[in-house]
Structures are given as structure tokens and as C-alpha cells.
């Protein structure tokens, strides 16, 4: 790589007060990159990296920091400290990660939801099952995009390679809604969770308040949709009668 290209590459990583110097990265960029790396590993890459994971999704922080893995800030995990891991968990506004100390005093960490490690985690261990009488599911909404609606109306909401379909228990921007959908979605699918649960579908809630289900065979059929609206205009696109006819 010539000097000019190296300078351009270096400049791409120098934003605000975050500057790379070898493995030393100052400012919030180092911690943000660490949080992203931890989320990626704990959701998707634990098996590939031979990281031991419990059925509830927890792994040892010490094992994580020994992995041969480099963050987006070009910092190896081994160059990070336990304190930085805790800082990354604390700074994540969507609360994607959680830590605990087990009975032996070992610090553990997990992703609260979003796993593609289908066989590694068990929904009943990872999450809290929701009762059909739970008021949490008064609103159960999935954020998506209008261009995807024809397929969703035809095939239902699929897990798309993840273990669960994700929902929020409120509308985007509501104070109590931390996570559960992308911020740039332009369509909302409202699901009648009570009707689905009456038919045997299990719903769960993660520690950060995301509502999740494996559906039936990794799908929530369209017959459980109440309505679909455009967002943020809230204009009705499809009502239940139209969806189920």
C-alpha cells in the first residue's frame, strides 16, 4: 500500500476526538468498536471462534478477551480490559449486552437477543416467556420496509436466519421502547400476539425489552396481523380484513 492510500485509510478512522495510534485509540471510538465486536461475536460468531457459550447465552469475559479477534478500530480484544468491556455494556443505548457474576465469581456476558446461533442458545433459558394475560403484549409491532411488504403478506414474518422474529412493545420513539426495530423502518406490522399465543405460539421478552418469538417453523403467518401502517405518517396500508381475505 502506498503512502497516500495509507494516509487516506488512517484519516477515515480519525473522527472527532477518536484517533488511532497503533493499538491505542482515544475517546469513545475504542469503546464503541469494542461493543460492536462483542455483540457480533455473542450473537453470531461464538461457535466459529470456539467460544464456550451456555444455553442462556452467557460466556466468560476472560475467554472473550483471549480470542483472536480485532475490532473495527483495529484493536485486538486481548488489548482491552475488563473495565472497558463493562464500559461498552453500559454505553450501549439499546442495551444489547448484559453481564452477571456467576456463583464462582466469574464475570459473564451475553447478547440479550438477536442470535443466529440457533443451536447454542435456548429461548427458555435466554429469555422470559410471556403469559397470554401479560399486558406487555397490548402492542406487538414489527418494523420493516414497504418494499418488503408483498413478501411479508405472502409468506408471513420470518426469522431470516436468526432464532427469533423481533418486535417492540410500543411505537418507535416511545420513552419505554429501548429496542426492537430499526430506526429507519418505514412500515409497521401490528401482530395480534394474544391470538397467536392462543394457537400455541410462544412469545418471550429479553432483558432489554425486545419481544421475540420463534413463530411456527420460524414464521409468524400473516393471519395473525392486525394491520400494517406506513411510518411515521401512520397511514393505514392494509387492515386485517384485507390481509386475511
Residue 154 has pLDDT above 60, yes or no: yes
Cα(77)–Cα(67) distance, integer angstroms: 7
Task: Give 196 or 28, the one with higher predicted confidence.
Answer: 196
* CATH code of domain 26-111: 1.10.10.970
Which secondary-structure segment (H or E) carries 238? strand 236-239
pLDDT in tens, 64-105: 999 999 999 999 999 999 999 999 999 998 899 999 999 999
Greater model confidence, 45 or 133: 45
- Please check the confidence at residue 11 and state whether its pLDDT lies above 60: no
- The answer to whether residue 174 scores a pLDDT higher than 70 is no
Round to whole Å and give the CA distance between 192 and 194. 6
Mean pLDDT confidence for 184-204: 96
pLDDT cut 90: percent of the chain above it: 75
Please tell me the distance from the alpha carbon of residue 219 to that of residue 243, in angstroms, as a whole number: 16
pLDDT in tens, 213-230: 999 999 999 999 999 999
Decide: pTM greater than 0.95. Answer: no
Q: Is the pLDDT of residue 182 over 70?
A: yes
- CB neighbour list of residue 40: distance below 8 Å, 6 or more residues apart: none
- CA-nearest of 198, 180, 200 to 189 is 180
What residues contact residue 182 under an 8 Å CB cut-off, 6+ apart? 143
pLDDT at 181: 82
Q: Tell me where in the chain the CATH 3.20.170.30 domain(s) lie.
A: 127-244
CATH of the domain spanning 127-244:
3.20.170.30
Residue intervals in the chain for CATH 1.10.10.970: 26-111
Q: Which residue has the higher pLDDT, 26 or 100?
A: 100
Q: Which of 96, 74, 99, 71 is nearest to 20 (CA)?
A: 74
Amino acid at each position: 500500500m502506498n503512502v497516500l492510500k495509507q494516509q487516506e485509510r488512517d484519516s477515515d478512522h480519525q473522527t472527532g476526538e477518536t484517533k488511532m495510534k497503533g493499538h491505542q485509540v482515544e475517546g469513545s471510538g475504542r469503546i464503541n468498536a469494542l461493543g460492536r465486536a462483542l455483540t457480533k461475536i455473542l450473537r453470531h460468531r461464538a461457535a466459529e471462534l470456539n467460544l464456550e457459550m451456555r444455553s442462556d447465552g452467557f460466556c466468560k469475559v476472560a475467554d472473550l478477551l483471549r480470542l483472536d479477534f480485532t475490532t473495527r478500530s483495529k484493536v485486538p480484544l486481548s488489548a482491552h480490559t475488563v473495565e472497558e468491556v463493562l464500559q461498552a455494556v453500559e454505553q450501549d443505548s439499546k442495551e444489547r449486552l448484559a453481564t452477571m457474576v456467576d456463583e464462582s465469581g466469574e464475570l459473564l456476558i451475553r447478547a440479550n437477543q438477536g442470535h443466529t446461533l440457533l443451536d447454542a442458545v435456548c429461548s427458555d433459558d435466554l429469555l422470559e416467556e410471556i403469559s397470554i394475560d401479560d399486558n406487555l403484549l397490548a402492542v406487538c409491532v414489527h418494523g420493516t420496509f414497504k418494499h418488503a411488504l408483498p413478501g411479508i403478506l405472502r409468506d408471513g414474518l420470518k426469522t431470516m436466519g436468526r432464532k427469533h422474529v423481533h418486535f417492540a412493545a410500543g411505537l418507535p420513539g416511545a420513552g419505554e421502547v429501548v429496542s426492537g426495530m430499526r430506526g429507519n423502518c418505514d412500515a409497521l406490522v401490528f401482530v395480534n400476539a394474544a391470538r397467536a399465543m392462543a394457537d400455541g405460539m410462544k412469545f418471550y421478552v429479553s432483558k432489554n425489552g425486545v419481544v421475540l418469538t420463534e413463530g411456527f417453523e420460524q414464521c409468524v403467518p400473516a393471519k395473525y396481523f392486525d394491520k400494517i401502517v406506513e411510518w411515521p405518517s401512520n397511514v393505514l396500508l392494509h387492515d386485517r380484513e384485507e390481509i386475511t381475505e
